[in-house]
Structure 1
Amino acid sequence: MGVDTPLVWIVDSAYTGELHARLGVAEQLGYGHAIIPLPNDDAGTYARLLEDRYDHACRDGEPRPVILLSGTGEDTIGPIADLKGMFHGRLLNVYLASILPDELDLRLQEYDLVASPQLSGANVVTTVGVVHRMTDRLLDQAFHRHRDVFAGLTRPLVGLLVGGNTRYCFGFHEDHARCLGRRVTSIITSLQGSLVVTNSRRTPNEALAALLNEIASLNCRFFDWQQADSYLYPALLAHGDLFIATGDSVSMCSEASYTGKPLLVDINDCATEIYHRHIIGKLIAYGAAKPLSDTFQPWTYTPPDPTGAVVSAIRERLLS
C-alpha cells in the first residue's frame, strides 16, 4: 500500500461487542489496522505514545491520514476528541455508538463521524441495529467449517441466542429463563424443528441451567461460547432458519438480522433496558425483527448492513 493509505487505529475495549464493532469496520475498510491502548490519566504520555506510533508508520517522511475508531463502552469521548489537533487535519475521528444515554456528551459534536441507531444529524450515520463484525464471507467460511455440526438436524433449525444481565438491568434470573424456555418450547413444538442454543459472557449460570432444563424435552444442542470454536457462532447464523434472541444484546440481534432470516426478540421489560428496547424497536420497525411470542409466522426482509453504511461514509469523507 502507498504512503497515502490511511492508518487505521482501533481503541481497545474490554467489551466484546464494542471491540468487534471497531474490528468489523476496520476489516471492511481493508487498509490493515492496529489496536491502540485506551487513554489513561496522563494525557501527555498518551499523546506521545501515539505520536511515536505515527512517526514510525510514516518513517519515509510522507504524512498519512489516520482513521481512529473508538466508541461506547469505556468513557473515552473527551480524551480521544483531544487528539484532533495533534494530527494537523489528517485525523478522521470515528465514534461507533451502541447504547447512548439520554444526556449526551457534547464533545461528540467534535467527531468527524458518529455511527448510532439512536441519533441523526450532519456528522451521524443513523444505523439500523449496531455495527458488528459479521460479513457474507465470514458466514460462508463458518458454514463450511462446521457443516458436520449441523448436518442431520431437523428443519427448521432455530438458533436461540442468549444474553443475560447488563450493568443496569438484572432481570435475567431463573424465573425469567423458565418463561423464555416455555415460549421457545411452544415455537419449536409447533414447527417440529430442532434447536441450537448458545450463551454469552453475561448469562448467569443459574438462569442458563433453568433455561436448559425447561427445553430439555426438545431436539436441542447447546454450545458454550467460552469453550466453542470462534467460528461456531457465525456457523449457527449461517445454518439457522430462524433466530430467537434476548433483547439485552443489541449486537447479537444486529448480527442475526444481517442474515436476512426471521428474528424474534425477547424484549421483556424486566430483562432489558429501555435503551435496548428503543434500538430493537428500530429493527422491528424496519421489518428485520418481531417481538417474541408463543407463535411464529415467517416473513422476509432486506438485511440491514450498519457496518457497510459506516464504511461507505468513511470512504466518502476520505475522498472529500
Structure 2
Amino acid sequence: MRPIRLPEPPNSSGMPEIFEGGVNVIRRAVVIGNGFAGAENQSIGLIRALGLSDSYTAYHVIRPRGGYNEWLRWLPLSIHKIVEGIIQQLLGNSRFAVKLEKRMTPLPAQNYGSIGLSSILEADAKHIASIARENFDKEGLLLVVASGWDTVSVASSIKRLAPQNVFVIQIQHPRTRLDRFDLVVAPRHDYHALTSQGQEEIPRLFRRWITPREPPGRNVVLTMGALHKADSAALRIAASEWHDELAPLPKPLIVVNIGGPTRHCRYGADLAIQLAGSLHNVLPSCGSIRISFSRRTPQKVSDVIFRELGDDPKVYVWDGKGSNPHMGHLAWADAFIISADSVSMLSEACSTGKPVYVIGAERCTWKFSAFHRSLRERGLVRPFTGLEDVSKFWSYPPLNDAAEVASRVREALAERGWNLRR
C-alpha cells in the first residue's frame, strides 16, 4: 500500500513561529520620546514603516519643567536633573523658592500625557539595556528608536550597555559622536553648514562651533523632511472616521495649518494679516476652508484669523476643542496652505501628493531656508500669494521619507545578518 503523504505544516521547521529565525530576527521595538509630538511622531512613523507598530513599548525622557527649570532647559538632561536636585536641596520650601516658583511657572511640571506619546514610563537606559540582554535568547534583537535632543544620552547609553543585543536608531542629528548609534536619521538641511552657501552665512570666527563639521558617514540616512505617522493606512482610517463631517463639504476643500514663529522663521500678527488677506482673495475659487492652529501659535496670530475670517460661511476655524481634525484634514483636503515654520506639517502634507502652498518662507533663514528651497526645486510646494486659482489641481511624486529610511534600516540589518519579522 502506498503511504499517505500528509501536507507540510505551515512552519516546517518544527518550532513556534516566534523562534523561527533565531535571535537574528527583530520582533520588538522600544520608542524613546521627549514629550513633544513633532519629535515622537517621527519615531512612530518609522516603526510603522518597519511593520512593528503592534509590538513596541513607548518610554519618555522626563525633563524637569516649570519654575527655575526654564532657565536650565538648555543644559544636557543628565546635568539638568543634577542641578535641579541641588537647587531643590538648597532652597527646599523656603519663601524665596515659593516666590520663584510662582513667578516662573508657565508650563506644567511634566511633559507627558496629552502631549506626544501616552506612555508615562520614564526611560531608564540601564533598565532597557537589561531587558534587551535578559530577553535576547527568547525574543531576539531589540530595536531602539529615539528622537529629539533629550533622548540622545539615553539611546547612546543603551547601545553602550548592550551592544550585542540592540540596534539603535537616533532620529534628528545628535551633533556629536555619531558612532554611538547604529543609524542616525537626519534631514539634509541639517548639513547646510557644510554647503558653500552655508559657509558664507557663518562668520569664520564661529565656524568651528557649528555642527555637524563632517559630511554624513555610512551610518547616516538623509531625508528631505521629517518622518511622521500619516502613512496611507493611517489616512484611510482617518478618511473613514471623518467621513461624515468632511465628505459633505463643498469642494475644493482647502486646509490651512498655522504653526508659530521660531528662531529661524520669525513672524507675528503681520503674517496673519497677510494670510487673511490672501485667503479672502482665493475664496471665490474655494468650496470651503478649514483652519487649524498648533500649540505654538501665538494668541495674536489666532486672534487675527478669527477676527478676519471667523464669520465667513465658507470658513471654519477649529477652536482646539473636541477631537483634533488634523488627520482627517490630511485625508480629505484637496489642497493645503501651511506656514513655513513647521517642517513636520509640511512633510505630512507633501506625503499626500496634493497641492501644498507655503506662506512665510521668505521669512526663514539658515537651514530652514535651504529646506524650503529643496521643496520648491522638487516641485513639492509653491508659494501662497493669494493670486492662485486653488481649484486647479497639480501633483507630484509624494514625499515618502519613512519608507525610504525603513529600506535603509533593512539593508543595514541585513549587512549584519539580521532581519525584521515578516
Give the structure with higher Rg (CA).
2
Say if 2:149 is the partner of 1:86: no
Residue in 1 that maps onto 2:130: 52
Which residue pairs with 1:289 in the alignment? 381
Equivalent residue for 1:34?
Answer: 57
TM score, norm. by length of structure 2 = 0.66
Q: 2: distance between equivalents of 1:63 and 1:87?
A: 15
Residue 283 of structure 2 corresponds to which residue in structure 1? 188
Instruction: State the distance in 2 between where 1:212 and 1:275 align.
Output: 32
SS across alignment from 1:106: coil
- Conserved? CA contact 2:132–2:141, under 8 Å: no
Shift of 1:195: 0.3
Alpha-carbon displacement from aligned partner over 1:180-207 (angstroms, at most 9, x marks no partner)? 1112222233x14310111111111221
Find the counterpart in structure 1 of residue 399 from structure 2. 304
Q: After superposing the two structures, state which structure 1 stretch, 21-30 or 210-219, moved more.
A: 210-219
- CA distance in 2: counterparts of 1:34 and 1:273, whole angstroms: 37
Question: What amino acid maps onto 1:235 in structure 2?
Answer: G
* Equivalent position of 1:21 in the other structure: 42
Q: Give runs of aligned pairs for residues 1-320 of structure 1, distance below 5 A.
A: 1-2=18-19, 4-31=25-52, 32-38=55-61, 41=78, 46-55=124-133, 57-58=135-136, 61-62=137-138, 64-72=140-148, 74-97=149-172, 105-118=175-188, 119=191, 120-166=216-262, 168=263, 171-189=266-284, 191-216=285-310, 217=312, 219-224=314-319, 226-230=320-324, 232-270=325-363, 272-296=364-388, 298-320=393-415
Instruction: Give a deviation string over 1:103-147, Cα, whole Å, max 9, x none.
Output: x72312442222222245422222222111111111111112111
Q: 1:196 is aligned with what amino acid?
A: R
Deviation at 1:33, TM superposition (A): 0.8
Distance 2:331 2:242 in 1: 10
Assess, with a 3 A threshold, how the Cα gap between structure 1 residues 310 and 95 changes in structure 2: closer, same or farther: same
User: In 1, distance between residues paired with 2:358 and 2:351?
Assistant: 14
Q: For the residues of structure 2 that align with 1:263 and 1:223, how far apart are their CA atoms?
A: 20
Rate the CA distance shift 1:208–1:312 in 2: closer, same or farther, 3 A. Answer: same
User: How far 1:79 moved relative to its partner?
Assistant: 4.5
What CA distance in whole angstroms lies between the structure 2 residues aligned with 1:121 and 1:18? 23
Quickly say closer, same or farther: Cα 1:51–1:96, change in 2 above 3 A. closer
Distance 1:81 1:55 in 2: 16
Superposition deviation, residue 273 in structure 1:
5.0
Conserved 8 A contact 2:271-2:360: no
1:224-248, Cα deviation, whole Å (9 max, x unpaired): 4x43324x21111111111000111
Secondary structure at the aligned position of 1:67 is classed as: strand
Post-superposition shift, 1:257?
0.7
Could you tell me the percent identity over the aligned residues? 24
How well do the aligned residues superpose, as a CA RMSD in angstroms? 2.6
Contact 1:182 1:215 in 2 (8 A): no
Cα deviation for residue 78 of structure 1 reads 4.3
Contact 1:81 1:107 in 2 (8 A): no
Which letter maps to 1:69? V
Distance 1:314 1:13, change over 3 A: same
Matched to 1:64, the amino acid is: G
Deviations 1:150-181 (A, max 9, x none): 23322111000111133x25844222211111
Deviation string 1:258-289 (CA, Å, 9 cap, x unpaired) is 1100000113444x453333223222211111
- 1 CA distance for matches of 2:264 and 2:383? 19
Quick one: structure 1 residues 51 and 109, their matched pair in 2 at CA, closer, same or farther if it must change by over 3 Å? Answer: closer
Q: Within 2, Cα distance between the matches of 1:111 and 1:52?
A: 18
